[in-house]
A and B are shown apart, each in its own frame.
Chain A
Amino acid sequence: MSGDKPKPAPSSRPACWARALADAFRRHPTLWPFTAMVVLLAWNVLFTPNFMNFEVHEGRLFGSVVSILQKGAPVMLLAIGMTLVIGLGGIDISVGSVMAMAGTVTALLIAGQGLPAPVAVLAGLGVALLAGAWNGALVTFVGLQPIIATLVLLMGGRGIAQALTGDQNVPFTSPAMEYLSTRPLLYLPIPIFIVLGAAVVVLLALHKTVLGLYIEAIGGNAKAARLAGLPVHGVRLLVYAFCGLCAGLAGVINTADIQRADVANCGLYLELDAILAVVIGGTSFAGGRPYLVGAIFGAIIMRMLTTMLLMHNVPTEKTLIVKAVVAIAVCLIQTPAFAGFMGRLRLGRARQA
């Protein structure tokens, strides 16, 4: 190798860019789901006809993108709560059933008792909050593994809802609930703002209060956190209860959308979508740092896949396989094994050069 020859500048510049980019991705894992989302969006803009069509009807914006955000709102809400729970090193597989419980209680109070919608919604949210607190208590005070503790409510929660309604759907008419699902706010459906509000509240709590630090500490090493004098029990209880509340909000939105409580299907299997969204978002199952924005991107990706395949006339049933492949691929990219593999590739290339 001739050392006196100066390196050509154009070839070193891209390498430098690539390294900076790789560094950025390593430091901000949220870039992975963000990139995936942008790529998916770009693909849709190019290859899905009518994807970027927008029209305004009665002061409300319509279009695929808006509908993705609106239909994805329940999963986004679930993902917000789930991110915190998984960040703590736990998991909540009962959120789908809690959705059904909250929706059922709301619908029953409106249809059966004739209560005004806001009161009924508050009651539904209260039930969801209690359900979350119950999960948290089982995990915290009884010391159950989170997956078992929440499995109980996953099996029993929908059972309670079905027992309450006698396994019937509960239709209701309520202008306020209709307003929630159909009327726009600043041209956009209201659920989008509920998601936005929840996300902002959680982000502020994570970054502007000590709560974020507590969650990271407990998720990283619960024992060490306890020995350091952190309120481990209180934080756990709070986070599980909040996750229940998010599920309740999702349940109310779903119920308002279809104007009835669909006990058998409300939130069915949505816990899985939410968990996948959180994992795609970069939050590690081992606990530690919660990546909230990533989880919301993850939820949008899942919904966008469904909408996109529907617009290409692929039946909903077959979209499952695409979801599976995307989820595994994104997980694969985030594993240390993959990083090591890429590292070896880079090393090999460096050695060849």
Chain B
Amino acid sequence: MKLPRKHVALLASLGVYVFLYAAASVYYADRNFFTPDVFLNFLRGGAVLGIIAVGETLVILAGGIDLSVGAVMSLSSVVIGMLVMEAGLPPAVAIPAAVALGGCLGLAMGAIIHYVDIKPFIVTLAGMFFARGLGFIIHLESISIEHPAYTRLVSLGLPLGGGHTLALTAVIFLAVVAVAIYVTRYTSFGRNIFALGGSEEAAVLMGLPVGRTKMLVYTASGLCAGLAGAVLTFDQSSGTHGAGVGMELDAIAAVVVGGTLLTGGVGSIVGTLVGVLTIGLLREVIVNYVGNLNSGMTSLAIGLLLLVFVLLQRFMTRRGAGAV
């Protein structure tokens, strides 16, 4: 029996995650590492990066890349802060507006990529500068959000029984993951994404709606980034410019660690979930358990992890190509 390539990658990611988690659980047994609360905390802490990474996964599966996600996320959080605190709108209006703005930016970038045929790398890079500049034009400083509805929202959670609750941000994260799994696996749009990422030429020849798929994928990524901005405001009760700096790289790293090929066409949303959790685990252990506040160690660890997975993927795809 031969496992499909994407399952091998996913199993490898899962294996590394379980191994790291088990190692940490044994090593930090005296500090109650292996408890449901710690795991739920990981889901909560990974929500912002996770939602962005899900959108990024769709783009990468389709053979593109989106460098604007971190900037769009910051922009969305600043827009929410501005609408709630200065325009006096209720969060129920402000949040959908900010998410929609993210979607519009994504759609615009997708349209430029499709109609003008400039590389996604360049368009989303310019998009990143644009979103960051727009954020500063809307409001030069970060805004802290104080609103009764917000305080209520932040304390919301899904009771799981046994005294554990799943925080609202984690619920949103898991919901986004569920929707994305459904879309990629059970809809024609999802199949088009894989076809487009596998070979754009073939997708065109098959008569698939390549342009529409491309634009929708970037729109989805923009929507995810906008939503991540909203989740960020739940977490920090403020709209901040700095939070999204470097977030696009973390998201890409999470996607790659999750077994999605950067060349497109092969990968899964579940893998990205595992990738986000792995990066969250590394960061948490280095900062809070080893107690090394040197941020260099974290990025060095993520860099090494990325290297291992990239080499692993390369090895697997080379073997896969050899078998054909």
Given contacts A152-B306, A279-B122, A328-B112, contact A144 B314 (CB under 8 A): yes
Q: Looking across the interface, which residue of chain A has its beta carbon closest to that of B136?
A: A317
A325–B133 Cα distance when bound, in Å, is: 11
CB distance from A295 to the nearest CB of B (A): 14
Mark A269-296 against chain B: 1 for CB-CB distance below 8 A, else 0.
0001001100100000100000000000
Most-contacted residue by chain B among A91, A160, A324, A336 (CB, 10 A)? A324
Contact of B296 among A160, A322, A335 (CB under 8 A): A160
A323–B130 Cα distance when bound, in Å, is: 8
Q: Looking across the interface, which residue of chain B has its beta carbon closest to that of A164?
A: B296
Residues 299-333 of A at the B interface (beta carbon under 8 Å): 315, 317-325, 327-328, 331-332
Most-contacted residue by chain A among B65, B249, B263, B294 (CB, 10 A)? B294
Q: Looking across the interface, which residue of chain A has its beta carbon closest to that of B310?
A: A148
User: Which residues of chain A are within 8 angstroms of B253 by Cβ–Cβ distance?
Assistant: 151, 155
User: Which residues of chain B are within 8 angstroms of A327 by Cβ–Cβ distance?
Assistant: 122, 125-126, 129
Residues 121-147 of B at the A interface (beta carbon under 8 Å): 121-123, 125-130, 132-134, 136-137, 140
A145 touches B299 (CB 8 A): no
The answer, yes or no, to whether A337 is at the interface (CB within 8 Å) is yes
Mark B102-134 against chain A: 1 for CB-CB distance below 8 A, else 0.
000000000010011111011101111110111
The answer, yes or no, to whether B303 is at the interface (CB within 8 Å) is yes
Q: Looking across the interface, which residue of chain A has its beta carbon closest to that of B301?
A: A159
Residues 182-210 of A at the B interface (beta carbon under 8 Å): none
Q: Is the interface of A mostly helix, strand, loop or mixed?
A: helix
Given contacts A142-B311, A145-B263, contact A328 B126 (CB under 8 A): yes
B314 touches A320 (CB 8 A): no
Mark A147-181 against chain B: 1 for CB-CB distance below 8 A, else 0.
11101111111111111111100000000000000
Q: State how many residues of chain B have any CB contact under 8 Å with chain A.
A: 47
B318 touches A143 (CB 8 A): yes
Q: Looking across the interface, which residue of chain B has its beta carbon closest to that of A321?
A: B133
The answer, yes or no, to whether B216 is at the interface (CB within 8 Å) is no
User: Which residues of chain B are within 8 angstroms of A54 by Cβ–Cβ distance?
Assistant: none
A158–B246 Cα distance when bound, in Å, is: 12
A318 touches B122 (CB 8 A): no
CB distance from B62 to the nearest CB of A (A): 16
User: Which residues of chain B are within 8 angstroms of A325 by Cβ–Cβ distance?
Assistant: 126, 130
The answer, yes or no, to whether A129 is at the interface (CB within 8 Å) is no
The answer, yes or no, to whether A263 is at the interface (CB within 8 Å) is yes
The answer, yes or no, to whether B230 is at the interface (CB within 8 Å) is no
A155 touches B303 (CB 8 A): yes
Q: Looking across the interface, which residue of chain B has its beta carbon closest to that of A336?
A: B117
The answer, yes or no, to whether A338 is at the interface (CB within 8 Å) is yes
B296 touches A158 (CB 8 A): yes
A147–B263 Cα distance when bound, in Å, is: 10
CB distance from B74 to the nearest CB of A (A): 11
Given contacts A142-B314, A167-B296, A315-B140, contact A337 B130 (CB under 8 A): no
CB distance from A255 to the nearest CB of B (A): 17
CB distance from A28 to the nearest CB of B (A): 21
User: Which residues of chain B are within 8 angstroms of A149 by Cβ–Cβ distance?
Assistant: 310
A320 touches B129 (CB 8 A): yes
User: Which residues of chain B are within 8 angstroms of A161 by Cβ–Cβ distance?
Assistant: 296
A163 touches B296 (CB 8 A): yes
A149–B127 Cα distance when bound, in Å, is: 23
The answer, yes or no, to whether B1 is at the interface (CB within 8 Å) is no
A164–B119 Cα distance when bound, in Å, is: 37
A157 touches B303 (CB 8 A): yes
B296 touches A162 (CB 8 A): yes
Contact of A328 among B117, B123, B301 (CB under 8 A): B123
User: Which residues of chain A are within 8 angstroms of B167 by Cβ–Cβ distance?
Assistant: none
Residues 52-102 of B at the A interface (beta carbon under 8 Å): 65
CB distance from A324 to the nearest CB of B (A): 4
A156–B129 Cα distance when bound, in Å, is: 23
Q: Looking across the interface, which residue of chain A has its beta carbon closest to that of B250?
A: A155
User: Which residues of chain A are within 8 angstroms of B122 by Cβ–Cβ distance?
Assistant: 275-276, 279, 285, 327, 331
User: Which residues of chain A are within 8 angstroms of B121 by Cβ–Cβ distance?
Assistant: 91, 147, 275, 285
B133 touches A317 (CB 8 A): yes
The answer, yes or no, to whether B187 is at the interface (CB within 8 Å) is no
User: Which residues of chain A are within 8 angstroms of B153 by Cβ–Cβ distance?
Assistant: none
CB distance from A227 to the nearest CB of B (A): 18
Given contacts A144-B314, A145-B263, A335-B118, contact A272 B125 (CB under 8 A): yes
User: Which residues of chain B are within 8 angstroms of A147 by Cβ–Cβ distance?
Assistant: 65, 121, 262
User: Which residues of chain A are within 8 angstroms of B119 by Cβ–Cβ distance?
Assistant: 285
Contact of A320 among B116, B123, B132, B302 (CB under 8 A): B132
A318 touches B310 (CB 8 A): no
A285–B113 Cα distance when bound, in Å, is: 14
User: Which residues of chain B are within 8 angstroms of A336 by Cβ–Cβ distance?
Assistant: 117
Given contacts A151-B252, A325-B130, A337-B116, contact A275 B306 (CB under 8 A): no
Q: Looking across the interface, which residue of chain B has its beta carbon closest to that of A329?
A: B126
Given contacts A148-B262, A324-B126, contact A156 B117 (CB under 8 A): no
User: Which residues of chain B are within 8 angstroms of A322 by Cβ–Cβ distance?
Assistant: 133
Mark A43-55 against chain B: 1 for CB-CB distance below 8 A, else 0.
0000000000000
Most-contacted residue by chain A among B115, B299, B304, B318 (CB, 10 A)? B299
Contact of B299 among A156, A164, A166, A331 (CB under 8 A): A156
User: Which of B's residues lie within 8 Å of A, judged by CB?
Assistant: 65, 112, 115-119, 121-123, 125-130, 132-134, 136-137, 140, 241, 249, 252-253, 256, 262-263, 293-304, 306-307, 310-311, 314, 318
- Cβ-closest 7 pairs across A and B: A162-B296, A156-B303, A321-B133, A159-B300, A320-B133, A159-B299, A317-B136
A-B contact list, 10 entries, CB within 8 Å = A143-B318, A148-B262, A159-B302, A163-B294, A163-B297, A285-B122, A320-B133, A321-B134, A324-B130, A331-B122
Apart from A317-B132, A323-B133, 17 more pairs, CB < 8 Å: A142-B314, A148-B310, A155-B249, A155-B253, A155-B302, A155-B306, A158-B296, A159-B297, A162-B300, A167-B294, A264-B295, A276-B126, A285-B119, A321-B129, A321-B133, A324-B130, A335-B118
